[in-house]
């Protein structure tokens, strides 16, 4: 807190520069986006906005541009150019504040944005003519008598966005307590039913998807727990319990298959999958008295003094 360049209000998003660890970015309710030099821990650049910054994102795959997408209290999506230091590029189409932004991990010019206006829009940032598509939860089947009723992704504020690792699908979360899975190339709602996905966040909800798992999972903050869903069947697999207060964010680390979660209880927890030894062919899983953990993951502590 004593650092001269500290953010003055809540920090909403932090991200490493995808191509090297010499730089990272942070954005805050203090209306700024800061580009940090890791070696000096000083801001190399600061972008100022008229309203609260809810979310920002740099493309993990871009080689031809260095744009940071920024969602703020304004309905205009801001694109800040790291190379020029300017923030002149603006995407117009939303009607209310932009709560979440995410670049496609598959196509470097495609950006998804989610807004309090119930809409999710996909953009090709090279096109000046507006967005590629606006996702429609009814897949075009609802009456088009009112253009106002058409093309909403949720029946509430859309405050969470996350692409699957391959970029083929996009998950969205809204304050209507629903999570939806979309085909990112056709914009079609796949109609996977996740049941009630409790979402009381008044700002952006930072959730995560797995990578190199079978099946693939979504990890969603749910009060003081993390709900784990299978992405393509909608099954609620488990609730991860360990925090004592509201969970704010989840991040998945594919190299170690680890999940990290941050909470208002001032802790960060690391979660690892419980590894089980393969069962012999002649033993059925049901006949085992308990989960057969790999001995390396069993509790090896002794409570007795004389056992050394």
pLDDT of 230 over the 60 cut: yes
pLDDT of 41 over the 90 cut: no
Of the candidates 239, 174, 160, the residue with the CA atom closest to the CA atom of residue 205: 160
pLDDT of 181 over the 80 cut: yes
> What pLDDT was estimated at residue 33?
84
pLDDT of 202 over the 50 cut: yes
Tell me how far apart the alpha carbons of residues 258 and 227 are, in angstroms, rounded to a whole number. 15
pLDDT of 129 over the 80 cut: no
pLDDT in tens, 55-83: 989 899 988 988 989 998 989 999 988 88
Of 8-12, 92-96, 246-250, 268-272, the one with minimum mean pLDDT is 8-12
Of 72-81, 107-116, 155-164, the one with minimum mean pLDDT is 72-81
Question: pTM score, two decimals?
Answer: 0.83
CATH no., domain 11-206? 2.130.10.10
Residue with tokens 């784990």: 228
pLDDT band at 143 (very low <50, low <70, confident <90, very high): low
pLDDT of 275 over the 80 cut: no
In the chain, where the domains are located: 11-206, 210-276
Tell me how far apart the alpha carbons of residues 38 and 299 are, in angstroms, rounded to a whole number. 38
Q: Which of the residue ranges 19-33, 90-104, 284-298 has the most confident prediction, judged by mean pLDDT? A: 90-104
> What pLDDT was estimated at residue 229?
96
Tell me how far apart the alpha carbons of residues 203 and 157 are, in angstroms, rounded to a whole number. 9
Cβ atoms of 118 and 134 within 8 Å: the answer is no
> What pLDDT was estimated at residue 151?
87
Residue with tokens 């429609």: 136
Burial 80-89 (b: 16+ CB within 10 A, else e): bebeeeebee
pLDDT averaged over every residue in the chain: 85
Collapse the DSSP code of 296 into the 3-class scheme (helix H, G, I; strand E, B; otherwise coil) and give the result: helix
CA distances from 39 to 19, 44, 305 (A): 16, 11, 47
> What pLDDT was estimated at residue 227?
95
> What pLDDT was estimated at residue 308?
46
Tell me how far apart the alpha carbons of residues 306 and 51 are, in angstroms, rounded to a whole number. 64
pLDDT band at 297 (very low <50, low <70, confident <90, very high): very low
pLDDT of 86 over the 90 cut: no
pLDDT of 103 over the 80 cut: yes
> What pLDDT was estimated at residue 300?
47
For range 76-92, the mean pLDDT: 85
Collapse the DSSP code of 289 into the 3-class scheme (helix H, G, I; strand E, B; otherwise coil) and give the result: coil
pLDDT of 306 over the 60 cut: no
Cβ atoms of 201 and 159 within 8 Å: the answer is yes
> What pLDDT was estimated at residue 146?
53
Proportion of the chain above pLDDT 70, given as a percent: 86
pLDDT of 256 over the 70 cut: yes
> Residue 57 corresponds to which tokens in the numbers above?
């994102």
Collapse the DSSP code of 307 into the 3-class scheme (helix H, G, I; strand E, B; otherwise coil) and give the result: helix
> What pLDDT was estimated at residue 296?
47
Higher confidence at residue 20 or residue 144?
20
């Amino acid at each position: 807190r004593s650092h001269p360049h500290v953010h003055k209000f809540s920090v909403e998003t932090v991200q490493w520069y995808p191509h090297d660890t010499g730089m990272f970015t942070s954005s805050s309710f203090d209306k700024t986006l800061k580009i940090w030099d890791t070696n000096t821990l000083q801001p190399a650049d600061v972008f100022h906005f008229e309203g609260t910054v809810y979310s920002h994102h740099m493309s993990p795959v871009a080689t031809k541009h260095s744009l940071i997408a920024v969602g703020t209290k304004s309905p205009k999506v801001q694109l800040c150019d790291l190379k020029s230091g300017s923030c002149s590029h603006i995407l117009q189409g939303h009607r209310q504040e932009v709560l979440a932004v995410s670049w496609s991990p598959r196509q470097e010019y495609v950006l998804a944005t989610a807004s309090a206006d119930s809409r999710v829009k996909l953009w090709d940032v090279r096109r000046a003519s507006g967005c590629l598509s606006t996702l429609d939860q009814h897949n075009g089947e609802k009456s088009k008598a009112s253009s106002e009723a058409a093309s909403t992704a949720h029946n509430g504020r859309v405050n969470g966005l996350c692409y699957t690792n391959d970029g083929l699908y996009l998950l969205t979360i809204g304050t209507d307590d629903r999570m939806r899975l979309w085909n990112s190339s056709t914009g079609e709602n796949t109609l996977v039913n996740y049941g009630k996905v409790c979402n009381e966040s008044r700002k952006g909800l930072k959730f995560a998807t797995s990578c190199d798992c079978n099946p693939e999972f979504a990890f969603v903050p749910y009060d003081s727990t993390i709900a784990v869903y299978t992405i393509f069947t909608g099954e609620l697999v488990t609730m991860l319990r360990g925090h004592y207060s509201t969970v704010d964010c989840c991040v998945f680390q594919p190299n170690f298959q680890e999940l990290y979660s941050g909470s208002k209880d001032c802790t960060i927890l690391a979660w690892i999958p419980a590894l089980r030894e393969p069962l012999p062919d002649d033993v059925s899983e049901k006949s085992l008295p308990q989960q057969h953990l790999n001995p390396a993951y069993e509790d090896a502590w002794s409570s007795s003094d004389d056992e050394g």
